Amino acid sequence: MTDIAIYEGEDHASQRGDVAQRAACVGCRTAGYIPILSGAVGVSDKVASEFSRLRDRMVDVQLAGRGIADPQVLAAMRTVPREMFVDPALEEFAYQDGALPIDAGQTISQPYIVARMIEAATLGLDSRVLEVGTGSGYAAAVLSRIAAKVYTIERHAALAEVARQRLAQLGYGNIDVRSGDGTHGWPEESPFDAIFVAAAGPTVPIALKQQLAIGGSLVLPIGDSYGNQTLCKIARLGDTKFERTDLDAVSFVPLVSEQGQA
């Protein structure tokens, strides 16, 4: 039986309260907060070791323990330091099984959902990938450990700039970040072997279907803005032939285009 994957997290009520209280104290740091690897700022080996232990536990319990089996996905999730993609005030919650708030009313995705979406696409080492909804850059970083090249688009220019600098500083050199309307895709770099959309709309944007390579997969939530959403895999079988597979019940932020909610 497939687990119901609720994007907003499954942590205990007391933990959610701690996160909410801490998040309320987090000011808008988009313009100034650029994370640096722990070793570069003198963080103790003990702290780094603890984050590593929590990351391993996340992979073993939240991912492998819930059915994520692709060794490439598990290895990538075990490698990328999620604590570097959240606000410092929320670092202690980085490896809980839930989404966390970032600036501009957006979130960093629940680890299980990141892994579930990537595994569904069946990436290869030569894959070229498009992500719509960069956010903090965490999912793009994970994708970059598997795919050859990642193109990621963020609607909020300030978030895009922070993600661009963060990813560069952390050494993810095969990721290009652009600010813009993700529903238009990135036509000059298409076709893509996989496309991931980290926001929900009622339909699949036509431009994204057109930019998907034959044999490729588009993974995205489809549904309304009230949480009635389904994570779907759209496989392109031919020029005009697509096949939809429903994966999980989810809850994502709305997909917004230049014309409003998509």
Q: Is residue 27 part of a domain?
A: yes
The single residue of 38, 109, 136, 144 carrying the catalytic annotation is 109
CA distance 195 to 120: 11
DSSP string, 66-78: GT---HHHHHHHH
Which pLDDT does position 253 carry in this prediction? 87
109 catalytic? Reply is yes
Q: Is the pLDDT of residue 40 over 60?
A: no
Q: Is residue 25 part of a domain?
A: yes
Counting every residue written for the chain, the total comes to: 262
CA distance 218 to 75: 22
Q: Is residue 176 part of a domain?
A: yes
For the chain, the average pLDDT equals 85
Distances (CA, A) of 65 to 57, 62, 74, 112, 125: 10, 6, 11, 10, 25
Q: Is residue 4 part of a domain?
A: no
Q: Is residue 194 part of a domain?
A: yes
3-state secondary structure 27-66: CCCCCCCCCCCHHHHCCCHHHHHHHHHHHHHHHHHHHHHH
Q: Is residue 5 part of a domain?
A: no
The strand pairing partners of 202, in sequence order, are: none
> Where do runs of H (alpha helix) occur along the chain?
13-24, 45-57, 71-79, 111-121, 138-144, 157-169, 206-210
For 67-124, write each residue's pLDDT tens digit: 999 999 999 999 999 999 999 999 999 999 999 999 988 899 899 999 999 999 999 9
Count of domains for the chain: 1
For 183-193, write each residue's pLDDT tens digit: 999 999 999 99
Q: Which of 140, 149, 137 is nearest to 174 (CA)?
A: 149
Q: Is residue 64 part of a domain?
A: yes
Across the range 215-231, mean pLDDT stands at 92
Percentage of the chain modeled with pLDDT above 90: 73
For 55-65, write each residue's pLDDT tens digit: 999 999 999 99
State which residues form the domain around 143: 13-261
Candidate ranges 4-18, 41-55, 122-136; pick with highest mean pLDDT: 122-136
> φ, ψ for residue 179 (rounded to 5)?
-100, 130
Q: What is the CATH number of the domain that holds 217?
A: 3.40.50.150
Which pLDDT does position 262 carry in this prediction? 56
Across the range 229-258, mean pLDDT stands at 94
Q: Is residue 208 part of a domain?
A: yes
Strand order in the sheet with 149-154: 175-179, 149-154, 128-132, 192-197, 212-223, 229-236, 242-250
The strand pairing partners of 244, in sequence order, are: 234
CA distance 255 to 236: 21
